[in-house]
Structure 1
Amino acid sequence: MKILVSVDIEGVAGVYHPEQVRPGNPEYERARRLMADEANAAIAGAFDGGATEVYVNDSHGGFRNMPPDLLDARAQAIQGKPRYLSMVAGVELGIDGICMIGYHSRAQGRGILAHTINSFAFARVSLNGQELGEMGLYGALAGAYGAPVVAASGDDMFIAEHQPLFPHTRFVQVKRATGANSGISLSPERACAAIREGVAQAVPQAGGVAPLRIEGPVSVDLVAQTTALAELFCQWPTLERTGGTALRFTAPGVEAAVRMVNCLSAMSSMLR
C-alpha cells in the first residue's frame, strides 16, 4: 500500500504567527523542525497501519522546509518547486491514500493563519460554486487521480470547515484557534502521538474512503485581495473580470483549474 503524506506548517502544533512560517528568522527554524516531527509521526503511523511505501511531500511555501536529514529514513521526500501537482505531488505514483498534516483554515476563515494558497493574492477560491480551502482544492486534485484523503490534522476551525466535505476522513485536532494568530495547543509530543495514532487507524481503511471528485468542466471564481491584483490576473486573456476584485475562468478539469490558480499565485509576486 502506497501512502502520500502532504505536510503544511500553519496547522502544526505550536505554530501561530507569520514569523514562524517565513524563512529568515529563528522562529521559523524551530517551526520547520516541529513540521518535520509531525511529518515523521504521520510516516510512522502509515507504516504502523500497513503501508509498504510512504512518500512525504513538503507542501509549504518554497517546498523545501523540512531538513531531509530529520525525516524518517523509510520515507521518500518530495521537495522543491516548480512542480505541476504542488501540494499533492506524488499522487501520480499510484497512491492509495493521502494524509494532510499541518493544514489550516481557508482564506477569511476563523482558523490560525487562515489562507488559501497565497495570503497576499486570494481572498476566496471557488470551484463550481463551492468555496474551497487548500484541503478541498488538493483533495479534489488527488481525487482526480483516484486517491482519497484518509487523515488530516490541524486546528478546530480547519476541521469544522472540512469535515462536511470529507466525512470519512479521520481528523486529528492538535490545537484550538482563539484568533488569527493565537490559540491553545497540545504539546508537540502529544500532537505527534495523536497524529501517529490517527494515521495508523486511518490507513487500513483507505480502500473504503471515496475520493473527492469534482467533474469538469470546472468554473473557477476567484476574489483577489486587491483590485490591482484582479487587473493583473486578467491580463491572462481567458480570464473574465466579474467585479472590482472578482474574476472567473473555466478549466477542462480540476487539475487544470488548480494549476491555473497556482500560476496566478506566482504572477502576484509582481505586485509585492
Structure 2
Amino acid sequence: MKVLISVDIEGVAGVFHPEQTRAGNGEYERARRWMSLEANAAIQGAFAGGATEVWVNDSHGGFRNLLPDLLDARAHVVLGKPRTLGMMAGPEHGAAIVFMIGYHAMSQSRGILAHTINSFAFARVLVNGVEEGEAGLYGALAAEYGARVVLLSGDDVFTEETRRTFPEARFVVTKTATGHASGVTQTPESACAAIARAAREVVELHAVAGTVREQGDVRSGAEPIACELQVQTTALADLFCQWPTMTRVGGVTLRFDAPSMEHVVRTLNCLSAMSFMLR
C-alpha cells in the first residue's frame, strides 16, 4: 500500500506565531524541526502499519521546510514549487491513502494561524456553495485520483470543522486554540507519539480492508464545479479579474467555473502567485 503524507506547519504542536512559519529566524528553524519530526512520526507509523511505499510532501509556503536528514530513509520526499498538484502531489503516482499532518483551520475561523491557501489574498473559498479550507480542497483533489484521506492532525478548531468532510478519518489534536496566535499545546514528543500510533493503526485498518491502488490508475470522473472566491481587497479583485475566466460578482467577490477540483486548486494557486504583485 502506498501512502502520501502532506505536511503543513501551522497545525504542528508548539507553533502559534506567524514568525514561526516564515524562514529567516531562529523561531522558524525550531518550528521546521518540529514539523519534520511530526512528518517522520507519520512515516514511521505508516511503515509499521504495513505501508510498502511512503511519499512525504512538504506543503507549507515555498515547500522547502522539511529537513530530509530527520526523515526515515525509506521515504520519498517531495520538495519545491511550483508543482501541478501543490500540496497534494502524490496520488497521480498511485497513493491509495493520504495523511494530512500539521494542517490548520480555514480563513475567518478561530483556529490557530487560520487561513486558506494565502492569508494576504483569500478571505473565503466556496465550492458549489460550501466553504472549504485547504483540507477540504486538497482532499477533494485526492479523491479525483482515487485516494482517500484517512488521518489528519492539527488544532481542535481544525478538527471540529474538518470532521464533517472526512467523517470516517482519524484525527490527532495537537493543540487547543484560545485565539489566532494562542492556545495550549502538546509537547513535540507527545504529539509525535500520538501521530505515529494513529498512522500505524489506520494503515493496518486499510490494509485489512483492502484499500489498494495500482500505479497508473486513471482518474475518477470529475464533475463541473462552481467556485466563489472572496478576496481581501478590491485591489486584489481588480488584479484577479485579469484572469480570462473570472467573473466579478461584487466588490471583493469573484466566481469561476472549473471542470474538476484539480482545475480549481490550480487556479487558486495561480491567483495566489499573482497576489505577490500587490505586496
TM, length-normalised to structure 1? 0.97
Distance 1:204 1:78 in 2: 24
| More off after superposition, 199-208 vs 113-122 | 199-208
Cα separation, 2, equivalents of 1:22 and 1:37? 18
Alignment RMSD:
1.3
5+ residue gaps, structure 1, are none
Could you say which residue in structure 2 is the equivalent of 1:30? 30
> Identity across aligned pairs (percent)?
64
1:52 aligned residue? 52
**Residue in structure 2 matched with residue 87 of structure 1 by the alignment:** 87
Residue type of the alignment partner of 1:132: E
The aligned counterpart of 1:230 is: 237
User: 2:192 and 2:210 mapped to 1: Cα distance?
Assistant: 25
Map Cα deviations across residues 239-259 of structure 1 (whole Å, 9 max, x no partner). 000111000000111111110
Task: Report the count of equivalent residues.
Answer: 269
Secondary structure of 1:84's match? coil
Q: Conserved in 2, the CA contact under 8 Å of 1:214 and 1:254?
A: no
Q: What letter matches 1:37 in structure 2?
A: L
Measure the CA separation in 2 of the matches of 1:236 and 1:2.
37
Is the CA contact 1:106–1:114 (under 8 Å) kept in the aligned structure 2?
Answer: yes
In the alignment, is the contact (CA less than 8 A) between 1:105 and 1:157 conserved in 2?
yes
Matches within 5 A, 1:248-267: 248-267=255-274
Once the two structures are TM-superposed, the CA of residue 204 in structure 1 deviates from its matched residue by: 2.5
Question: Which structure 2 segments of 5+ residues have no match?
Answer: 212-219
Q: Matches of residues 120-131 of structure 1 in structure 2 within 5 Å?
A: 120-131=120-131
Offset at residue 36 of structure 1 (A): 0.1
Match of 2:216 in 1: none
1:24-66: per-residue Cα shift (whole Å, max 9, x none)?
Answer: 1110000000000000000011011110100100000000101
- Asked if the contact 1:140–1:214 (Cα under 8 Å) also holds between the matched residues in 2, the reply is no
Q: Equivalences for 1:181-260 in 2 at 5 Å? A: 181-206=181-206, 207=209, 215-260=222-267
Moved over 4 A (4+): none
Q: In 2, are the aligned partners of 1:125 and 1:222 still within 8 Å (CA)?
A: yes
TM-score by length of 2: 0.94
Match of residue 180 from structure 2: 180
Residue 17 of structure 1 is matched in structure 2 by: 17
Partner residue of 1:106?
106
Mapped pair 1:271 → 2:278: yes
Helix, strand or coil at the partner of 2:103: coil
Q: 2:126, 2:222 → 1: CA distance? A: 14
CA contact (8 A) 1:105 1:158 kept: yes
1:102 match: secondary structure: strand
Counterpart-to-counterpart distance in 2, 1:194 and 1:219: 38
Change (3 A) 1:221 1:36: same
